């Protein structure tokens, strides 16, 4: 009986990231073809119905321009997040997704609707930058520095100022990325193994 070798993490990361981007495009095509009814399923701050958006908002976009601007960062940053281990990358993504969505729901302006994968993008940026330093792994530090150099300008999006852009989604996504890096650190902490 022949056993198959386990696929490298980067292959699985590429498949999962590509599948997620394909889902984003399918949803936006369906949304556009039906008159944009899915836009209403974004996060609607402090409304009971708006809680659904915590689960759905990162998969929804307000038109193709919005989706196009998020596609390449999702492909690059999603892949890098998953490439060092799909399970850990998915756990980081889940933390970013929930922290980002709940932060927007709790603190954004009521009466607004927030959607888009940028909550994940900002979370992945911070996660990738912070995790290497916490784990003290050379390759992860190198990836974090490269991500910072490429996307540091985008981090200004956590500040209010651009009309129609959810800076709250960017801010709480970034906070979620930091939380994910902290929670998922793989380095043994010396203070947790004190001997007498």
Identify the burial level of 173 via C-beta atoms within 10 angstroms of its C-beta, where 0-12 means exposed, 13-18 middle and 19 or more buried. Answer: buried
Cβ distance 11 to 82 under 8 Å? no
pLDDT band at 5 (very low <50, low <70, confident <90, very high): low
Residue 177 makes CB contacts below 8 A (sequence gap 6+) with 92, 96, 122, 123, 124, 125, 126, 127, 128, 130
Q: Average pLDDT for residues 93-102, to the nearest whole number?
A: 98
The answer as to whether 20 is a domain residue is: no
Model confidence at 162: pLDDT above 70: yes
Which tokens go with 192? 């947790």
Task: Quick: pLDDT tens for 37-91.
Answer: 999 999 999 999 889 999 999 999 999 999 999 999 999 999 999 998 999 999 9
Expressed as residue numbers, the domain containing 93 is: 44-186
Q: What percent of the chain has pLDDT over 90?
A: 74
Read out DSSP for 39-97? GGGSB-TT-TGGGHHHHHGGG--SSHHHHHHHHHHHHHHHHHHHHT-HHHHHHHHHHHH
The answer as to whether 90 is a domain residue is: yes
The answer as to whether 34 is a domain residue is: no
What angle separates helix 9-33 from helix 86-107, to the nearest 10 degrees? 40
Q: How many domains are there within the chain? A: 1
pLDDT at 152: 83
The answer as to whether 32 is a domain residue is: no
pLDDT at 6: 61
- β-pair partners for 114: 43
The answer as to whether 89 is a domain residue is: yes
The answer as to whether 62 is a domain residue is: yes
The answer as to whether 132 is a domain residue is: yes
The alpha carbons of the chain give a radius of gyration, in whole angstroms, of 18
Q: Average pLDDT for residues 25-36, to the nearest whole number?
A: 97
Which tokens go with 134? 């916490």
Q: Average pLDDT for residues 2-9, to the nearest whole number?
A: 61
Q: Average pLDDT for residues 13-18, to the nearest whole number?
A: 97
Model confidence at 191: pLDDT above 50: no
pLDDT at 52: 94
The answer as to whether 68 is a domain residue is: yes
């Amino acid at each position: 009986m022949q056993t198959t070798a386990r696929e490298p993490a980067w292959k699985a990361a590429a498949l999962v990231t590509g599948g997620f981007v394909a889902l984003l495009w399918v949803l936006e095509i369906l949304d556009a073809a039906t008159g944009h009814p899915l836009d209403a399923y974004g996060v609607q701050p402090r409304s009971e119905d708006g809680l659904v958006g915590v689960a759905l908002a990162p998969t929804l976009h307000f038109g193709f321009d919005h989706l196009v601007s998020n596609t390449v960062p999702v492909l690059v940053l999603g892949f890098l997040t998953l490439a060092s281990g799909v399970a850990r990358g998915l756990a980081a993504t889940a933390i970013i997704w929930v922290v980002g969505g709940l932060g927007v729901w709790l603190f954004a302006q009521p009466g607004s609707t927030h959607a888009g994968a940028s909550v994940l993008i900002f979370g992945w940026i911070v996660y990738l930058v912070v995790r290497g330093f916490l784990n003290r792994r050379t390759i992860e530090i190198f990836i974090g520095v490269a991500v910072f150099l490429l996307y540091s300008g985008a981090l200004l999006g956590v500040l209010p100022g651009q009309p129609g852009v959810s800076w709250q989604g960017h801010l709480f996504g970034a906070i979620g990325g930091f939380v994910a890096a902290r929670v998922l650190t793989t380095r043994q902490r010396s203070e947790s193994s004190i001997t007498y």
